[in-house]
Structure 1
Amino acid sequence: MDTIDLAYVGRGLHEELVAYVADQEGYFEAEKVHVAIRDGIGWSAERLRRGAVIGLGRTLLSRLTDGIGWTALSVSTDHPLFWFLGNAEVQSMADLRGRRLAVHAAHSPPGAFARIVLRKHGLDPDRDVECVERHPGDYQMDLRHLRDGSIDAAYVGSTLSPEQVADEEGFHLLAWVGDHFQIPTVGVVVDPAHISLDSPALQGLVRANQRALELLFENRSRAVDYVAGFLDRLTREEAQRYYERYVEPYFLPGRVLDLTAVQHAVDTVAAELGVASVAADTIYMNSSAKYERESRNP
Structure 2
Amino acid sequence: MQSITTRTGLHLPKLGLGTWRMLGEDCTRTLEQALDLGYRHLDTATAYDNEAAVGKALAQTSIPREQIHVTTKVWWDKLEPQAMRQSLDASRKALGDDCLDLFLIHWPGNESAGWSLERSIDTLVALREEGKARQIGVANFNVAQLTRAVVELGAPLSVVQVEYHVLLNQQPVLDFARQHGLALTAYTPLARGQGADTETVQRIAEKHGVLPSQVALAWVLEQEGVAAIPKSNSAVNQQANLDALKLKLDDEDRRAIAALPKDVRIVNPNFAPKWD
TM-score, normalised via structure 1 length: 0.28
Please tell me whether Structure 1 or Structure 2 has the larger radius of gyration of its CA atoms.
1
TM-score, normalised via structure 2 length: 0.30
